[in-house]
Structure 1
Amino acid sequence: MSLINTTLIVDGTLWSLVAFSVATWTLILVKAIQHLRLSGQNKRYLKLFWSAKDLQAAANLGEHAVGPAARLANAGFDALHDAANTHDLEHSGDRQELLERHLRQQIHKERRSLESGLAVLASIGSTAPFVGLFGTVWGIMNAMTDISRTGSASLDVVAGPIGEALVATGVGIAVAVPAVLAFNFFTRRLKLVWADLDDFAADFINIAQRASFRIERQPAQVRADAPAATGKEAFA
């Protein structure tokens, strides 16, 4: 009965580590695609933004406004437009302060989106070795029980349980290493993206200041988070 329980526990530990490994590599793939995609989107949008003749032209980029940088710019355009046309508590106060608040809020939204999944990688990286160690300790405990029960410490009595138990530790470490490396890599990427958005927000505020914090949004302005208009609607 003890052997059966030990086998079930060690096997359960190994299958748990396999599940951790699948989750880790799935997150690595998803996060890699996410960062590659947003990097391309930001480069394309920023190239168009800085090529615009003025802030008003940049506000009318339309279907090109996709990606974190585009959403940040749109948040700024909305703040400038609403400051001139909306009169409530949310849009009250100095226009520069209103713009800075909207840009800061959008940066936090983008950061929360990019941080998704990182907590899972951190948890797997920190717990996988201990999960494997649990299986190892349990297997060794069973081997010691067999030795005391049989009165023999021969190789055929202890080799199987201990060998199986040590595999659990090895698997736990193998699962933890990619998770830790991926967490560190994507955390570094997140800091770089956040710094780039902070720099863009500062530049946006300076440009808006030169434009006296005024902008006109076209009625049919295509938004990054809305379907693109087609036909005559795009020019309404």
Structure 2
Amino acid sequence: MSDFIIRYIVNSALCLLAALSALTWMLILYKAYANWQLAAQDRHFTGSFPQAAGRGLLTAIAAQQPLATGPKARVAHAGFSALSSVEATEVGGLSRSPARDPHRLLESALTRQIRRERRALESGLTLLASIANVAPFVGLFGTVFGIIHALHTMTGSDHGSIGSVAVPVGQALVATGVGIAVAIPAVLAYNLLLRRLNVSLADLEEYAADFVNLAECAGFAIGQTDHSVGGEVLPLARTQEARA
């Protein structure tokens, strides 16, 4: 194998590591900003009704969730959509069948939405884990060919002293060091983001459980006060019909 090919392989490994490092930091910054934004959206959503309780809390959530953004707002929207379909059936004069049990429908809708949020939060984590696992081997790959180049240099020289191979071997080992340097931030970021993912999912599941409990206490008649129909608290489906 010619020296040109060996140098090309080593340089390609270093260029690949540089690209992986840039991609790693782009992912870290993007995920950090995305997590901060989602946390701020959730704080804004839950802080919109700090004094409400019971049916009043459900009324506040029903009024706020169409305009809000964030994971908790989307979970609440999924819950109200499920209950609205049940209430629309009852308003239409159809009996409530076991298949349309509001408790079951609500839990199913909330679970599906939490799974969607999980998939969104998991985006990029697989790539970070892959970079963390692959980068050291890419560096080692470059080091192996760098050492081969050093040995070729030593055999081609008139004297095979340690000094004649120390510099090329040291240069070859740089690739391994670069690979490890690329992997360390990826590993740390992956672990931190995974912990953040688990905390966020636990928070969403707790919020969904509280939502189900509030809906159950209200008899699954999730509504909002509509002053245009006498200030009566109506189920969401009936409220929408009254406003129409």
TM bracket, shorter-chain basis:
0.7 to 0.9
Residue type of the alignment partner of 1:214: A
Aligned Cα root-mean-square deviation (Å)? 2.2
Q: Which amino acid aligns with 1:182?
A: A
Equivalent of residue 161 in structure 1, options 158, 168, 173: 168
Q: 1:68 to 1:44 in 2, by over 3 A?
A: same
Amino acid at match of 1:102: A
Query: Quick one: distance in 2 between partners of 1:8 and 1:141?
Result: 13
Give the AA of the match of 1:26.
Answer: M
1:38: which partner in 2? 38
Cα contact 1:135–1:169 (8 A) shared by 2: yes
**Which of these residues, 68, 71, 74, is aligned with residue 74 of structure 2?**
71
Task: Decide whether the 8 Å contact of 1:45 with 1:64 is kept in 2.
Answer: no
Answering whether residue 85 of structure 2 is matched by residue 59 of structure 1, we say: no
CA–CA separation in structure 1 for the residues paired with 2:158 and 2:99? 83
Rg (Cα) greater in structure: 2
Deviates more, 1:92-101 or 1:114-123: 92-101
1:4 aligns with 2:4: yes
Distance (Å, rounded) in 2 between the aligned partners of 1:58 and 1:136: 59
Alignment-mate amino acid for residue 31 of structure 1: K
- Amino acid in the other structure paired with 1:184: N
- TM-score of the two chains, using structure 1 as the length reference: 0.85
Does the 8 Å contact 2:154/2:165 carry over to 1?
A: yes
Q: Deviations over 1:91-145 (max 9, x none)?
A: 9431101100000000010010011001111000111011000000111122223
For 1:54 and 1:37, locate their aligned partners in 2 and report how far apart those are by CA, in whole Å. Answer: 24
CA–CA distance in 2 between the matches of 1:63 and 1:117? 28
Tell me how far 1:219 sits from its aligned partner. Answer: 4.2
Aligned ranges for residues 202-213 of structure 1 at < 5 Å?
202-213=209-220
Name the counterpart of 1:179: 186
Residue matched to 2:229: none
Identity of aligned residues (%): 48
Q: Which amino acid aligns with 2:76?
A: A
CA contact (8 A) 1:13 1:131 kept: yes
Q: Which residue, 90, 94, 97 being the options, matches 2:101?
A: 94
Residue 63 of structure 1 deviates from its aligned partner by: 5.9
- Provide Cα deviations, 1:7-66, integer angstroms capped at 9, x if missing partner: 111110000000000000000010010011111111111122443424133201156421
Query: Which segment drifts farther, 146-155 or 18-27?
Result: 146-155
> Residue 119 of structure 1: SS of its match in structure 2?
helix
Conserved? CA contact 2:71–2:117, under 8 Å: yes
SS in 2 for 1:167: helix
Code of the residue aligned with 2:199 in structure 1: it is L
Specify every segment of 5 or more residues in structure 1 that has no aligned partner in the other structure, as ranges.
221-234
Deviation at 1:76, TM superposition (A): 0.6
2:177 to 153, 161, 170: 170
Once the two structures are superposed, what CA deviation does each residue of 1:155-202 show, in whole Å capped at 9, x if it has no partner?
A: 464234312211101110110000000000000000000000010000
1:85 and 1:138 map into 2 onto residues whose CA distance is: 70
Matched residues, number = 219
- SS of the equivalent of 1:23 reads helix
CA distance in 2, matches of 1:210, 1:59: 16
